Amino acid sequence: MNLLINNIGQLVTVASHGKRVKTGEEMRSLGVLSDASLLIENGIIAKIAKKDELTPPEDFDVIDAEGRTVLPGFVDSHTHTVFAGTRENEFAMRAEGKSYQEIAEAGGGIISTMRATREASKKDLYHLAERRLDDMMRYGTTTVEIKSGYGLSPEAEIKILEVIHDLQRDHYATVVGTFLGAHAFPPEYKDDKQGYVDRICDYMMPYIAEKKLATFVDVFCEQGYFDLHFTEQIILEAKRHGLIPKLHADQLNAFGAVELGAKHNAISVDHLEKTNESGIAALKNSQTIATVLPGCSLFLNHPYAPARAIIDAGIPLVLATDFNPGSQMSYSMQMMLTLACTQMRMTPEEAITAATFNGAAALGLSAEIGSIEIGKQADVVIYDVHDYRFIPYHYGMNHVWKVVKNGVMLEF
Ligand SMILES: [Zn+2]
C-alpha cells in the first residue's frame, strides 16, 4: 500500500484542478511532468516530485520506472462484461455478407446470449467475468462499469446484478453496476411491450434499488426497441428510486433519444453514431456527458460518432469500449485511443482525457479517480513507452508494464 515510483520519464497526470469533468481546450491539457516521481501512501497519491527528490520511509516499496510513461488507469464506463456464450459464428456470417435478419433466423443475435446467460449458474457467470476483468486490468483498465441486460427476466437480471455486486466486493478492479433490463424485449413479451416495461418499473427496479444492486439504470433507446415513451417511463421510475439514468442513444437512428437524456439529466448518453445538430444543441445546454464507443463502429462497419463536433461544441466527451459478445468483442482501451485519433479526428491528448478523467466523471467518480493528483486513489499504470503518444500510435499492442491499483502493484 506504500510505494514510491521513481524515475518516471513522463507522468501524465490529466490534472483536473477540482473540476467535475473536462471540456474543450481542457481536454488537450494532460498536465505532463517529465522526470518525475510519485509517492503513494495507504493507497492514496501523497506526493508528486522530480525524480530522486523523494526519500521514502523505510517500509515503502520502490519501483524504478526506468524512464517509462505513467498514466491514470483507464475508466471503461460502458461494458456488458457479464454474459455466457460467445458469437463467433455470427461474426463469420457477417463476414460472408449475411444480413441481420438471416443471422437472427439462424438463432443469433442478443437472444442467443440471453439464452446462454439464463442457463448459466451464478458461479459460472462470476468466473467468466472475473477472467475478463483480470484481462482488462492487464490492458490498463482499473475501473469498469458493467451492465446487466442479458437476462431479460426478473430472476436472470437479478442473478447478473448479484454477480456484478460480488465482483465489486471481490475483484481488484473498481466495478460499478448498471441495470439494463431494457436492453431488448424477451421472447415472452414479444407481443406485450408495455407489459415488459411495467415489469421493469413495478417489479425489478424496486427490488434492485432496495437491495442496492445497481447505481445506474440504462435503456437501449432505439426504433423497434425501447421508444421515447417507454424510455421516459423507465427514466422517471429510476429517479423515483434514487437510481441514476443513462442511455444507449442514437446508435442506429436519431429520433430524440439524446434530447430526452439531456432533458432528464441523464449522467451520460452513449453511442451517438447518428447524433445530429439537434442532439448536440441539447447536450450543450445540459449537464449530460457524451460517451462514444468507436469499437462498435469498427466491428460493425458503421459510421463513427461526431466526436470532433461534440468536443468543439464544449460538451464533455468520454471514450469507452462497449465490450459485448455481439457488436464489440474487445476490451482494449488502448485500441479505443487509436480509433479516436484515426477515425474521429481526436488528438491523443483528448483521447486520453476521454478514457480516464472524463470516464470517471461519467460514473460520478471523478473526485476520487481518473487523474493523478494529490489525495486521489492511486490507480496508476506504467507503460513500457517513452512517450504517451506512442500508445495509440503503435496500435494493436499491449504496452502495459505494471499496474498499480489502490496503491498495490498487481502481479499477473
Ligand atoms: Zn452498450
Asked if 267 and 216 count as a contact pair (C-beta separation under 8 A), the reply is yes
Give me ligand 1 centre to Cα 328, in Å. 9
Residue 306's contacts (CB-CB under 8 Å, 6 or more residues apart) are 272, 275, 280
How is residue 161 written as a grid cell? Answer: 446484478
Written as tens digits, the pLDDT of the chain (412 aa) is: 699 999 999 999 999 999 999 999 999 999 999 999 999 999 999 999 999 999 888 889 999 999 999 999 999 999 999 999 999 999 999 999 998 788 888 888 899 999 999 999 999 999 999 999 999 999 999 999 999 999 999 999 999 999 999 999 999 999 999 999 999 999 999 999 999 999 999 999 999 999 999 999 999 999 999 999 999 999 999 999 999 999 999 999 999 999 999 999 999 999 999 999 999 999 999 999 999 999 999 999 999 999 999 999 999 999 999 999 999 999 999 999 999 999 999 999 999 999 999 999 999 999 999 999 999 999 999 999 999 999 999 999 999 999 999 999 998 7
Give me ligand 1 centre to Cα 63, in Å. 37
Domains of the chain: 3-72+372-409 (2.30.40.10), 75-361 (3.20.20.140)
* pLDDT of amino acid 411: 87
* pLDDT of amino acid 273: 98
Give me ligand 1 centre to Cα 139, in Å. 20
Give me ligand 1 centre to Cα 322, in Å. 5
Strands 268-271 and 244-249: parallel
Give me ligand 1 centre to Cα 194, in Å. 22
Alpha carbon of residue 322 to chain centroid: 7
In the chain, the amino acid numbered 28 is R
Q: Which of 229, 293, 235 is nearest to 256 (CA)?
A: 229
Give me ligand 1 centre to Cα 408, in Å. 30
| DSSP code of residue 28 | G
Give me ligand 1 centre to Cα 184, in Å. 12
* pLDDT of amino acid 40: 97
Q: Which residue has the cell 471514450?
A: 319
Asked if 279 and 247 count as a contact pair (C-beta separation under 8 A), the reply is no
Give me ligand 1 centre to Cα 271, in Å. 8
pTM: 0.97
SS (H, E, C) 235-251: HHHHHHCCCEEEEEECC
* pLDDT of amino acid 1: 67
The DSSP-derived string for 199-249 is: HIIIIIHHHHHHTT--SEEEEEB-TTSB-HHHHHHHHHHHHHTTPEEEEEE
Give me ligand 1 centre to Cα 110, in Å. 12
Give me ligand 1 centre to Cα 316, in Å. 19
H-helix or E-strand containing 92?
Answer: helix 88-95
Give me ligand 1 centre to Cα 296, in Å. 9
Alpha helices in 221-356 (DSSP H): 228-240, 257-263, 277-284, 294-300, 307-312, 333-343, 348-355
Residues constituting the chain = 412
Give me ligand 1 centre to Cα 60, in Å. 41
Give me ligand 1 centre to Cα 11, in Å. 32
Give me ligand 1 centre to Cα 343, in Å. 20
